[in-house]
Amino acid sequence: MSKFKKKKDGGLPAISTASLPDIVFMLLFFFMVVTVLRDDNLLVQNKLPKADQVEKLKKDRSVYIYAGKPSSRYQDKYGSEPKIQIGDKYTDLSNIKFALTEARQKLLPELQDYVMVALKVDEKTNTGMVTDIKQELRDLNMLKIIYITTPGNEINQ
Amino acid sequence: MARRATPEVNAGSMADIAFLLLIFFLVTTTIEKDKGIARQLPPKEPPTDEQVKIKEKNLFIVNVNRSDQLLVEEKLMELKDLRQAAIDFLDNGGAPSGTAEYCDYCKGKRNPESSDNPDKAVISVQNDRLTSYKMYIAVQNELVAAYNFLRDRESERLYGWKFTEKTKDLDEGKIKGEAAKDALQEKLETIQKLFPQKLSEAEPKKSGQ
């Protein structure tokens, strides 16, 4: 009779799940894009020290130096003395300059002058080793460094 | 032969497949969050006989030995007290009022035996080669914290915001517009000039020396 008669009384309509794959795909693409598969295979133990007065690292203009004891699976072969790693292999102190120049060349040409050296050093390493690395960096005139740390503080723990 | 209509592919499992991939990427993703303490190394210069003279009262010597113990101004100190000690030293403003060196924004004790003003005050860190890196970073962190504390105080007094927070905003690109960025940069530099970071690092001694 009336035009506005309710068709049904009560009963929730089923929620359409037709757009679910689209939503999931969107999320999937997001994560695929932001994912960076680790480019350096860590050969050394790397437990970073804690600090809270930190700045952000500009990733596009940095080269990494790792230092620390060799990882447990490499210890039979390389011993347990702390070693320096640049790129994918161990580097000798005298070889740092060459390895760093090589690493710098992989950056964008316009950013090579603003290169920053990110030092990822294990907290158990001696400061002496870090000093040696810094001396080499001064020789190379790569003066901007950043000690990578994890959030936290040494005092209140 | 009659062309058969291709049967429609069932897309019902699409969501499941996508979910599976999604979960894989969720698990493997590590969003890089490298942060750290930035430093500028001194450039290599030919050795000169010229000695830079710093008055002893303007020098704050932090010594770390091979067993990670702190010696600050020739007194043993715990790490937790280092920040306050550094703040007291930087903020001292010992130069008498009326002189060119007088620091009108310092709120320290104005002890004539300690630093003249923040511009003159130099913190010198001396490490042993066998000091652990953990301790080294902890000391650096405390000293940077002392500077940040004082800079925060001054920027709150002058502009009403915290130096560290605005620096962070600038870093993260939260400040929009070139003009706003330049204006902020200028203000930050003013604050930096009030408390310039003068951290010197001596060549570490050989162990036992």
Flag whether pLDDT at B196 surpasses 80.
yes
Question: How far apart are alpha carbons B137 and A50 in whole angstroms?
Answer: 8
Say if the Cβ atoms of B133 and A50 lie within 8 Å: no
Quick check: B23 contacting A, CB < 8 Å? Answer: no
Q: Model confidence over A3-59: pLDDT tens digits?
A: 676 655 667 888 777 788 888 888 888 887 877 666 667 788 888 888 888 888 877
Say if the Cβ atoms of B37 and A153 lie within 8 Å: no
Q: Label residues B101-111 b or e (16+ Cβ within 10 Å = b).
A: eebeebebebe
Say if the Cβ atoms of A126 and B129 lie within 8 Å: yes
Nearest CA in chain B to A62: B34
Question: How far apart are alpha carbons A103 and A106 in whole angstroms?
Answer: 5
Quick check: B140 contacting A, CB < 8 Å? Answer: yes
A-B contacts (CB, under 8 Å): 158
Say if the Cβ atoms of A130 and B133 lie within 8 Å: yes
The CA-atom distances, in angstroms, between B207 and each of A71, B65, B72, B203 are: 26, 9, 19, 12
Quick check: B18 contacting A, CB < 8 Å? Answer: yes
Radius of gyration of chain A (CA): 26
Q: Model confidence over B8-35: pLDDT tens digits?
A: 777 778 778 888 888 888 887 766 677 8
How high does pLDDT run on average in chain A? 81
Say if the Cβ atoms of A55 and B38 lie within 8 Å: yes
Question: How far apart are alpha carbons B57 and B59 in whole angstroms?
Answer: 5
Q: Where are the beta strands (DSSP E) in chain B?
A: 35-40, 59-64, 70-72, 75-77, 122-127, 199-201
Most B CBs within 10 A among A150, A154, A156, A157, hence the mutation to make, goes to A154
Question: How far apart are alpha carbons A66 and A77 in whole angstroms?
Answer: 18
Question: How far apart are alpha carbons B3 and B9 in whole angstroms?
Answer: 18
Tokens of B72: 């600050």
Flag whether pLDDT at B187 surpasses 50.
yes
Quick check: B130 contacting A, CB < 8 Å? Answer: yes
Tokens of A20: 């679910």
- In this complex, the residue of B30, B148, B171 whose CB is nearest that of residue A53 is B148
Say if the Cβ atoms of A127 and B18 lie within 8 Å: no
Which residues between 36 and 95 in chain B have a beta carbon less than 8 angstroms from any beta carbon of chain A?
Answer: 36-44, 79-80
Say if the Cβ atoms of A149 and B141 lie within 8 Å: yes
Mean pLDDT check: name the lowest of A130-134, A139-143, B69-73, B101-105. B101-105
Question: How far apart are alpha carbons B99 and B177 in whole angstroms?
Answer: 42
The CA-atom distances, in angstroms, between B33 and each of A5, A32, A42, A72, A151 are: 60, 17, 17, 25, 10
State the maximum Cα–Cα separation within chain A, in Å, rounded to a whole number: 95
The CA-atom distances, in angstroms, between B136 and each of A5, A49, A86, B65 are: 79, 9, 22, 10
Say if the Cβ atoms of B144 and A59 lie within 8 Å: no
| DSSP-based three-state secondary structure for A64 | strand
What residues of chain B lie within 8 A of the CB of A31, using their CB?
A: 22, 25-26, 29
Q: Model confidence over B39-66: pLDDT tens digits?
A: 888 887 777 767 777 777 888 888 888 8
CA distance A56 to chain B (A): 5
Are B195 and B90 in contact, with CB atoms under 8 Å apart?
Answer: yes
pLDDT of residue B209: 43
Radius of gyration of chain B (CA): 27
Say if the Cβ atoms of A49 and B138 lie within 8 Å: yes
Q: Label residues B118-151 b or e (16+ Cβ within 10 Å = b).
A: bebbbbebbbbbbbbbbbbbbbbbbbbbbbbbbb
Please list the residues that pair with A44 across neighbouring strands: A70
Please list the residues that pair with B61 across neighbouring strands: B124
Question: How far apart are alpha carbons B43 and B4 in whole angstroms?
Answer: 79
Say if the Cβ atoms of B22 and A24 lie within 8 Å: yes
| pTM higher than 0.80 | no
Phi/psi at B35 (5° precision): -135, 155
| DSSP-based three-state secondary structure for B52 | coil
